[in-house]
Amino acid sequence: MVIVLALVSAVVAALFLLVAAVQKNDRITAFQHDGVPVQVTVAGCRGLLGGSGSNPVGYSCWGSFTLSGRHFREGIPGDALLAPGSQLSMLTIAGDSGPLAAPGVVAREQPSAGAYVLPAVLFAAVASTATALALRRRARQPALRSLRGLGAGTRLGEATRGV
């Protein structure tokens, strides 16, 4: 039962990783094909703490921008401390103005098949483990031996009567 739960957990993890890989590649493609430049005004930042809560590890900043006459307030990628009121040149996706990305980052990123390696390895490991377990279980089951007098159409209970 423990092995089955581990295999199910591995399949679930592989599915999550697969979905994340597809979304990441789709997001990169969307920024490259549908990216719209916007000027983002930094509204503020919060410090991020790590470990025991006493070590600063970066900042989470947010800002606002206007696109097609609509005003948006979104998180700014990265962990640098930005001065409130400062202006950033960013990209957003036309028609889905939620995400922001730096133009330099978008220019460097490419959709990658490498994002699918880990989910594929997990699926292969689960498949091979499940196959090995099934073969082992099959090998442990005693083989049915032919019984004398067990002919075509004779049921096992009828053939063993009187034995």
pLDDT tens-digit map of 37-53: 999 999 999 999 888 77
In a domain, residue 94? The reply is yes
In a domain, residue 128? The reply is no
Number of independent structural domains in the chain: 1
Average pLDDT over residues 115-131: 93
In a domain, residue 121? The reply is no
Contact 160, 147 (CB under 8 A): yes
Task: Say which amino acid occupies 7.
Answer: L
Domain that includes residue 70, residue range = 2-114
Q: Tokens representing 111?
A: 């959709």
The pairing of strands 70-76 and 87-93 is unpaired
**What gap in Å lies between CA 58 and CA 47, rounded to an integer?**
6
Phi-psi region of 93 (alpha: psi -120 to 50; beta: other; left: phi over 0): beta
In a domain, residue 151? The reply is no
| pTM (whole model) above 0.85 | no
